Amino acid sequence: MSERSSRAQRGEAERRSDGPARTLPAAEPIGTHAISVFVNNKPGVLVRVALVFARRGFNIESLVVSPGVEGRFSRMTITCSGRKEDLDQVVKQVAKLVDVVHAIDHTADQTYSVEIALIKLECPLDERTPILQIAEHYKARVVDFGKEALILQAHGSSEKLDALTELLRPFSLVELVRSGKLLMARGERVT
Amino acid sequence: MEHKIPTGGEKLIQCLEREGVEYIFGLSGGAAMPIFDALVDSKIQLVLVRHEQGATHMADGYARSTGKPGVVLVTSGPGATNTVTGLLTALMDSAPIIVICGQTISPMLGKDAFQEADVTGITYPVVKHSYLVKDGRDIPRIVREAFHVATTGRPGPVLIDVPKDIGQAPCPAPFTDKLDLPGYSVPSRGDPAAIAEAARLLSESVRPVLYVGHGAVIADAGKAVTTLAEKLRAPVVNTLLGKGAVDERHPLHLGMLGMHGTAYANKAVADCDLIMAIGARWDDRITGKLSEFCTDAVKIHIDIDPAEFDKIVKPDVSILGDARLVVEDLIPLIEMGETEAWLAQCERWRKQYPLKYPKKGGLRAQHVLDRLNAITQGDSIITTDVGQHQMWAAQFCLARSNRHWISSGGAGTMGFGWPAAIGAAFGNPHKKVWAVVGDGGFQMTLCELATAQNHKVRAKCLIINNNYLGMIRQWQELFYENRLSGSDLVGNPDFVKLAESYGVQGFRIKRSADVDRILRKAHAYDEGPCVVVAEVVKEDNVYPFIPAGAAVRDMIIDQPTHKLAKPTGST
Beta-strand runs (E) in B244-386: 253-256, 274-278, 298-303, 317-320, 381-384
Q: Does the distance separating the beta carbons of A48 and B310 come in below 8 Å?
A: no
Please tell me if residue A93 touches chain B, with a CB cutoff of 8 Å.
Answer: yes
Chain A hits for B307, CB-CB cut-off 8 Å, are 89, 92-93, 95-96
Angstrom distance (rounded) from CA B482 to CA B472: 10
| DSSP state string for B376-426 | HTT-SEEEE-SSHHHHHHHHHS---STTSEE---SS--TT-HHHHHHHHHH
- Within a domain: residue A190? no
Q: What is the CATH number of the domain that holds A12?
A: 3.30.70.260
Residue A153, classed as helix, strand or coil, is: strand
% chain B with pLDDT above 70: 99
> In whole angstroms, what is the distance from residue A106 CA to residue B540 CA?
55
Q: What single-letter DSSP state applies at residue B124?
A: G
Do A136 and A156 lie in a common domain? yes
Mean pLDDT of the residues in chain B: 96
Task: Please name the member of A48, A100, A101 whose beta carbon is closest to the beta carbon of B124.
Answer: A48
Do residue B310 and residue A85 have CB atoms under 8 angstroms apart?
A: yes
Q: Give the active site residue among B259, B471, B507, B545.
A: B471
Mean per-residue pLDDT of chain A:
87
Residue A104 forms part of a structural domain:
yes
Same domain, A86 and A128: no
CA A12 distance to own-chain centroid: 16
- The partner residues of B405 in beta bridges, in order of sequence, read B382
- Measure B182 CA to nearest chain A CA, in Å: 6
Three-class secondary structure assignment of B448-513: HHHHHHHCCCCEEEEEEECCECHHHHHHHHHHCCCCCCCCECCCCCCHHHHHHHCCCEEEEECCHH
The pLDDT value recorded for residue A30 is 86
Nearest CA in chain A to B158: A98
User: For this structure, is B527 an active site residue?
Assistant: no
Q: Judge contact between B38 and B65, C-beta under 8 A.
A: no
Interchain proximity B183–A44, CB inside 8 Å: no
Q: Is cis: bond before A43, omega within 30 of 0?
A: no
Co-location of A17 and A102 in the same domain: yes
Residues of chain B with Cβ-Cβ distance to A98 below 8 Å are 128-129, 149, 181, 183-184
Could B124 and A92 be called an inter-chain contact, meaning their C-beta atoms sit closer than 8 Å?
Answer: no
pLDDT tens readout for residues B217-250: 999 999 999 999 999 999 999 999 999 999 999 9
Judge if A94 and A127 occupy the same domain.
no
Please indicate whether, in this complex, the C-beta atoms of B149 and A89 are within 8 angstroms of each other.
no
Q: For the range A123-126, what are the long-range contacts, defined as Cβ-Cβ under 8 Å and sequence gap of 24 or more?
A: A123/A149, A123/A150, A123/A171, A123/A172, A124/A148
Task: Name which of A51, A85, A88 is nearest B125 (Cβ-Cβ).
Answer: A51
Backbone angles phi, psi at A104, to 5 degrees: -135, 130
- Specify whether the CB–CB gap between B281 and B254 falls below 8 A: no
Using the beta-carbon criterion (under 8 Å), do B124 and A44 form an inter-chain contact?
yes
Do residues A67 and A86 both lie within one domain?
yes
Same domain, A8 and A98: yes
- What value of ipTM does the predicted structure carry? 0.92
The partner residue sitting opposite A98, judged by closest CB among B125, B149, B306, is: B149
Tens-digit pLDDT profile for residues B487-526: 999 999 999 999 999 999 999 999 999 999 999 999 999 9
If asked whether residues A20 and A93 sit together in one domain, one would say yes
Question: Which of A43, A85, A101 comes nearest B183 by C-beta?
Answer: A101
Would you give the distance in Å from CA B76 to the centre of its chain? 26
CA gap B465, B9 in Å, rounded: 44
Tell me if chain B has a CB within 8 Å of the CB of A172.
no
Which tops the pLDDT comparison, B220 or A9?
Answer: B220
B115 is catalytic: yes
Question: Which residues are CB-neighbours of B495 under 8 A, at least 6 positions away?
Answer: B439, B442, B463, B465, B506, B531, B533
Chain A nearest C-alpha distance from B508 (Å): 46
A139 vs chain B: nearest CA distance in angstroms?
41
**CATH number of the domain where residue A135 is located:** 3.30.70.1150
Region of B392 (left: φ > 0; alpha: ψ -120 to 50; beta: rest) is: alpha
| Domain B192-352, second-level architecture | 3-Layer(aba) Sandwich (3.40)
Q: Do A81 and A122 sit in the same domain of this protein? A: no
**Co-location of A100 and A7 in the same domain:** yes
Q: What is the pLDDT of residue B2?
A: 55
Phi-psi region of A158 (alpha: psi -120 to 50; beta: other; left: phi over 0): alpha
3-class secondary structure, A87: helix
**Shortest CA distance from B184: residue in chain A:** A98
- The Cα–Cα gap between B124 and B322 comes to 26
Residue A171 sits in which domain range? 112-184
Examine residue A121 and state whether it is found in any structural domain, yes or no. Answer: yes
Are A98 and B183 within 8 A, CB to CB? Answer: yes
Contact assignment for A44 to B132 by CB distance below 8 Å: yes
| Sheet strand arrangement including B298-303 | B253-256, B236-238, B208-212, B274-278, B298-303, B317-320
CA gap A158, A153 in Å, rounded = 14
Domain stops at, among A91, A108, A125: A108
Per-residue pLDDT, A27? 58
Give the pLDDT confidence of A67-114 residue by residue, as tens digits.
999 999 999 999 999 999 899 999 999 999 999 999 999 987 789 999
CB–CB contact A51 B182 (8 Å): no
Residue of A nearest to B133 (CA): A43
> Do residues B55 and B74 lie in contact, with contact meaning Cβ atoms separated by under 8 Å?
yes
Domain end position, chosen among A108, A130, A153: A108
A100 and A118 in a common domain: no
The domains of chain B are located at: 8-168, 192-352, 365-543
- Tell me the CA end-to-end span of chain B in Å, nearest whole number: 58
Q: Provide the pLDDT for residue B87.
A: 98
Cα gap B505→B516, rounded to integer Å: 18
A133-152: pLDDT as tens digits? 999 999 999 999 999 999 99
A191 part of a folded domain = no
Burial B302-325, CB ≥16 within 10 A → b, else e: bbbbebbbebbbebebbbbbbbbb
**Spatial separation of the C-alpha atoms in residues B13 and B32, rounded to whole Å:** 12
Q: Residue B309: its chain A contacts at CB < 8 A?
A: 92
Catalytic residue among B11, B68, B128, B164: B164
Residues 6+ apart with CB under 8 A from B493: none
From chain B, the residues in CB contact with A101 under 8 A are: 182-183
> Which of B92, B124, B304 would best serve as a mutation to test chain A binding (most A beta carbons within 10 A)?
B124
* Active-site residue flag, B25: no
What are the helix and strand counts (H, E) for chain A? 5, 9
Instruction: Give the CATH fold of the B365-543 domain.
Output: Rossmann fold (3.40.50)
Strands A149-156 and A141-145: antiparallel
| pLDDT confidence band for A11 (50 / 70 / 90) | very low
What span, in angstroms and rounded, lies between the C-alpha atoms of B48 and B43?
15
- For B311-345, how does the pLDDT look when each residue is reduced to its tens digit (9 = 90+)? 999 999 999 999 999 999 999 999 887 899 999 99
In this complex, which of B125, B128, B306 lies closest to A92 when CB atoms are compared?
B306
Q: Which of B174, B91, B179, B92 is nearest to B129 (CA)?
A: B91
Average pLDDT over residues A19-40: 71
Instruction: Flag if B125 and A55 touch (Cβ within 8 Å).
Output: yes
In chain A, how many domains are there?
2
Task: Find, among A114, A113, A115, A110, the residue nearest to A186 by Cα.
Answer: A110
Which CATH class for the B8-168 domain?
A: alpha beta
Give Cα separations from A126 to A129, A131, A141, A145 (angstroms). 7, 11, 19, 13
- Cα(B58)–Cα(B81) distance, integer angstroms: 17
For A93, name the nearest residue in chain B, comparing CA atoms only: B307
Within a 13 Å sphere around the CA of B336, how many CA atoms are in the beta-carbon half? 4
Q: Which residues contact B443 (CB under 8 A, 6 or more apart)?
A: B492
Q: What is the pLDDT of residue B368?
A: 98
Fold match between domain B8-168 and domain B192-352 = yes
Residues of B with CB under 8 A from a CB of A: 120-121, 124-125, 128-130, 132, 149, 181-184, 305-307, 309-311
Last residue of a domain, one of A108, A143, A165: A108
Same structural domain, A43 and A103: yes
> Do A138 and A78 have their domain in common?
no
* Mean pLDDT calculated for residue range B380-394: 98
For B337, which DSSP code?
-
DSSP B62-121: HHHHHSSPEEEEE-STHHHHTTHHHHHHHHHTT--EEEEEEE--GGGTTTT-TT---HHH
Point out the catalytic residue in the list B17, B45, B114, B377. B114
